[in-house]
């Protein structure tokens, strides 16, 4: 997977989702996204938060990449 896929700016995320990267990272942390399958996390963002599919997948990947050390 190309880094460009999850290497997005806060401005891009706000423009497409209405919320900042920090908001989404905290939301996914509260959802325990790191313990779930990525498709479940994407569905959560789409269904509960009305995030467009591309951006739901991007935010999920960004979250998972940021929690792996």
**Domain positions in the chain:** 3-67
Round the CA-based radius of gyration of the chain to a whole number and report it: 11
Asked whether 41 and 63 are in contact (CB, 8 A), the reply is yes
pLDDT of residue 7: 81
pLDDT in tens, 47-63: 999 999 999 999 999 99
Find how far residue 48's CA is from the centre of its chain.
Answer: 13
Q: Are the beta carbons of 33 and 41 closer than 8 angstroms?
A: yes
pTM higher than 0.75, yes or no?
A: yes
pLDDT digits (tens, 9 = 90+) for 2-31: 556 668 999 999 999 999 999 999 999 999
Quick one: DSSP state of residue 4? Answer: G
- Angle, nearest 10°, between helix axes 53-67 and 10-17? 140
pLDDT tens readout for residues 27-41: 999 999 999 999 999
């Amino acid at each position: 997977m190309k880094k460009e896929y999850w290497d997005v700016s806060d401005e891009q995320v706000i423009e497409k989702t209405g919320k900042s990267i920090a908001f989404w990272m905290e939301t996914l942390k509260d959802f325990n996204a790191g313990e779930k399958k990525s498709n479940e996390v994407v569905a959560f963002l789409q269904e509960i938060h009305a995030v467009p599919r591309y951006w739901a997948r991007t935010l999920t990947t960004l979250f998972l990449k940021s929690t792996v050390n």
